[in-house]
């Protein structure tokens, strides 16, 4: 298990960040009714990797912890909303997420749509708060782009279109799809600290681009080798559907090699930060070593 610079396993650091973000969600999103309960349910149980990246990138740049927490919660709300909608019968039609019934199974489809909508708008509400600082508007604009028609939503559209395409996607097409579906939000998370500090975000963006692609390759590998009890959702769906993935295109061993190569690229991108970026490097190593 990769370690942080303090010698703690990276899973412990992720868990500490998860608790911090969940505590902030509890304070700002009380369970007042069914909609609030569904929103909190959707936020619960994940690794909160994106929020963790926000907290680490803001730490690197000396950002106020209050601003960091708002940005971390915001990205987790966007990610949760995307999963709630992605699980719907009209999209991936999944019954399980993080080992629990999906929102539309626990409630119904209407509540899932509304909870996702509310999580999306709540994310921007958190970023618009004064404590986020003078560069909040840039962060808001960047998140709108990363999550919208030229980012995650386009990636979702490309993914749906691929299911009915006459021929499977090629490697370049899969890479483009995943850069939008997964990579855009990871890039926003990893660069949030630099944006808020008004610093050069290029090194963290290069890190995030490599990390995001390695993350998706690891997901494809888990779909082949993963234990459903650990992964928290159905596995081997891609092969059953004849869906093109990094594993189907490269082969299992070559996909693992490519993931390791991307992790090395991610770590190299952080050289200008010295030892301060060791936790981010360990996060990249963890991404391809995880079992869920």
What is the pLDDT, as a whole number, of residue 291?
76
Question: Two tokens at 232?
Answer: 């928290």
pLDDT in tens, 75-109: 999 999 999 999 999 999 999 998 899 999 999 99
Measured from the Cβ of residue 215, the count of other Cβ atoms closer than 10 Å reads 22
What is the pLDDT, as a whole number, of residue 234?
59
What is the pLDDT, as a whole number, of residue 233?
62
Q: Which residues contact 72 (CB under 8 A, 6 or more apart)?
A: 17, 20, 21, 24, 48, 50, 51, 52, 54, 55
pLDDT in tens, 117-176: 999 999 999 999 999 999 999 999 999 999 999 999 999 999 989 888 888 899 999 999
Length of the chain: 292
Domains of the chain: 10-287 (1.10.600.10)
Mean pLDDT of 246-256: 94
What is the pLDDT, as a whole number, of residue 7?
41
What is the pLDDT, as a whole number, of residue 230?
64
pLDDT in tens, 184-243: 999 999 999 999 999 999 999 999 999 999 999 999 999 888 777 666 565 666 665 667
What is the pLDDT, as a whole number, of residue 275?
94
Query: What does pLDDT average to over the chain?
Result: 92
């Amino acid at each position: 298990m990769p370690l942080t610079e303090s010698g703690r396993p990276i899973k412990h650091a992720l868990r500490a960040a998860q608790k911090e973000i969940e505590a902030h969600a509890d304070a700002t999103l009380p369970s007042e009714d069914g909609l609030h309960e569904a929103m909190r349910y959707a936020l619960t149980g994940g690794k909160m990797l994106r929020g963790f990246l926000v907290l680490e990138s803001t730490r690197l740049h000396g950002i106020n912890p209050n601003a960091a927490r708002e940005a971390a919660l915001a990205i987790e709300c966007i990610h949760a909303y995307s999963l709630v909608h992605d699980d719907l019968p009209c999209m991936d039609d999944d019954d399980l997420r993080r080992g629990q019934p999906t929102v539309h199974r626990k409630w119904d489809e209407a509540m899932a749509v509304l909870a996702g909508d509310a999580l999306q708008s709540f994310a921007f509400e958190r970023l618009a708060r004064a404590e986020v600082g003078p560069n909040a508007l840039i962060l808001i604009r960047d998140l709108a782009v990363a999550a919208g028609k030229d980012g995650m939503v386009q990636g979702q559209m490309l993914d749906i279109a691929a299911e009915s395409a006459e021929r499977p996607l090629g490697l370049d097409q899969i890479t483009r799809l995943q850069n939008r579906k997964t990579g855009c939000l990871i890039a926003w998370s990893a660069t949030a600290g630099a944006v808020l500090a008004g610093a050069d975000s290029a090194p963290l963006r290069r890190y995030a681009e490599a990390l995001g692609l390695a993350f998706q390759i690891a997901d494809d590998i888990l779909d082949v080798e993963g234990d459903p009890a650990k992964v928290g959702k159905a596995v081997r769906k891609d092969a059953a559907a004849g869906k093109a993935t990094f594993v189907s295109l490269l082969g299992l061993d070559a996909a693992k090699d490519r993931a390791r190569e991307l992790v090395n690229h991610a770590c190299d991108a952080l050289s200008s930060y010295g030892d301060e970026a060791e936790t981010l490097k360990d996060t990249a190593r963890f991404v391809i070593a995880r079992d869920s």
